[in-house]
Amino acid sequence: MRARSLRLRIALAVGAAIALATVLLGVAVIALSEREEATSRDDALRAGATQVAQLSASAPALLTAPGALEGRVGSRRLLVEVVDRRGRSVARSASLGGGLLATPAQIAEVIRTGRAHYANSKLGDESLRSYLAPLAAIGSGPAAGGAVLVATSTAADERTAHRIRVLVLLAAAGAAVLAIGIALLLTRRALRPLTDLSAAAREIGETGDPTRRLPPAGAGDEVGALSETLNAMLASLERAREAEHRFVADASHELRTPLTALRGNAAYIAQHGANAEVLSDLESDARRLARLLDDLLALAREDAAGPSSSEPVRLDRLALASASPRVEVDAPSPVTVRGDADALARAIANLVENALVHGPADEVVRIQVREEAGRARLTVTDQGAGLSPEQAEHAFERFWRAPVADAPAGSGLGLAIVRATAERHGGSASVAGATFTLELPSMA
């Protein structure tokens, strides 16, 4: 239904655009045609008045001869009336009969001012276009010093304009209907891939199976790009679901160990009573469980958090806050980044704790903070053997622990939190041997 609605909207828009363009073109044609007709009509009236003026000056006796004022200019029939200087009619076209082409006041105004002008008038029910011009006071003819009035009917021009308007409207309607039909056909073909994508996406949504993919559009256009983008999104969702399942499974396994130990110790106390060793185990298991829950919550917050805030954070100060007898900090100059100060402080603390746990107990951990080429780099190095390249590939994975026999049991989430924090701040986390690096965009 939505696809059909989209096709209909597109078709109607195309039809409306074509109709509007046709109407605008028709209006321009009508305006140009009426202008040409008006110019041609006025030229014909002026030419007729000029002929009468020449006749009045050269052969005034012919003005009153029968048929002298019956004439045409081009295809136009002219009505002519000649008056003397007192406004009295001297001669007129036979077809004019007893009608008047102008009022006495208009005639007197032309004779008095000696200026010709055009006017619109009516002769009965017929609309006329008139030209009133003075006659030169030359010779002794009866019209010398008078005026000549030449008129022609505008009915033919109005009929022509009306036919053009009707033709334009019919052409606009026909063009709109034709454009709508063509647009429906073309959009049906063009939107068919979108309809297929919509149907496939609906099936995926109903089944909830992220392993399914949308059918390829089969064209290197925007629809094909959309299909590829949606399939990439589905692949990302599939990976995210798999990662979620692994995370839930790993978290369940990690939580099961301390919970099982707590239940066993509780059962022992209930049966045999409390002693120092069992209470110590309970306290250790509770701490491990609390630490694991804290890390899980921290990682969940990093996953759910949006882009980092734009608050300026002094990375060198966060590093100096970690200084202790076993932790040396080398931060000679201010290094400022934008982000979440608490999250960054936790990431640095995780790196330092990891180095203290896995480095030699009698050696110091060194933190170095530098700014290079617009990047802030914080490195944490212990004096241990470090990770092999194979181990480094897994160091920041969730619940991964280095295979060290005497290392204390941790949650396996500390370095994963570091990487999640770095990525949320537009940076990265890496390891090479015993050196862990946190790299972030610098405000500089």
Determine the Cα–Cα distance for residues 81 and 194; give it in Å rounded to an integer.
76
> Which tokens belong to 366?
């060194």
* pLDDT more than 90, % of the chain: 13
Question: What would the pLDDT profile of 229-279 be if each residue is shown by its tens digit?
Answer: 777 787 777 777 776 776 666 666 666 767 777 777 777 787 777 777 777
The predicted model gives 287-309 an average pLDDT of 68
Give the C-alpha distances (Å, rounded to integers) separating 390 from 58, 353, 396, 430, 431. 120, 22, 12, 13, 11
* 416 touches 396 (CB < 8 A): yes
33 burial via Cβ count (<10 Å: 0-12, 13-18, 19+):
middle
DSSP letter for 333, please: S
* pLDDT more than 70, % of the chain: 85
> Which tokens belong to 357?
């746990």
Give the C-alpha distances (Å, rounded to integers) separating 434 from 322, 361, 386, 400. 18, 14, 4, 17
Determine the Cα–Cα distance for residues 24 and 175; give it in Å rounded to an integer.
13
3-state SS, residue 33 = helix
Supply the mean pLDDT for the chain: 80
365-372 and 435-441 beta bridge pairing? unpaired
**Is residue 64 predicted with pLDDT exceeding 60?**
yes
Q: Tell me which of 305 and 245 has the higher pLDDT.
A: 245
Question: What would the pLDDT profile of 98-154 be if each residue is shown by its tens digit?
Answer: 777 778 888 888 888 888 888 888 877 788 888 888 888 776 677 787 888 888 888
Q: Tell me which of 189 and 387 has the higher pLDDT.
A: 387
Residue 64: CB atoms within 10 A of its CB come to 15
Q: Tell me which of 326 and 204 has the higher pLDDT.
A: 326
312-314 and 126-134 beta bridge pairing? unpaired
Determine the Cα–Cα distance for residues 402 and 417; give it in Å rounded to an integer.
16
Q: Which CATH class is domain 222-294?
A: mainly alpha
**Is residue 1 predicted with pLDDT exceeding 50?**
no
Determine the Cα–Cα distance for residues 425 and 419; give it in Å rounded to an integer.
10
The domain limits of the chain are 2-161, 222-294, 307-441
**Is residue 203 predicted with pLDDT exceeding 60?**
yes
Q: What is the CATH number of domain 307-441?
A: 3.30.565.10
Could you say which architecture CATH assigns to the domain 2-161? 2-Layer Sandwich (3.30)
3-state SS, residue 444 = coil
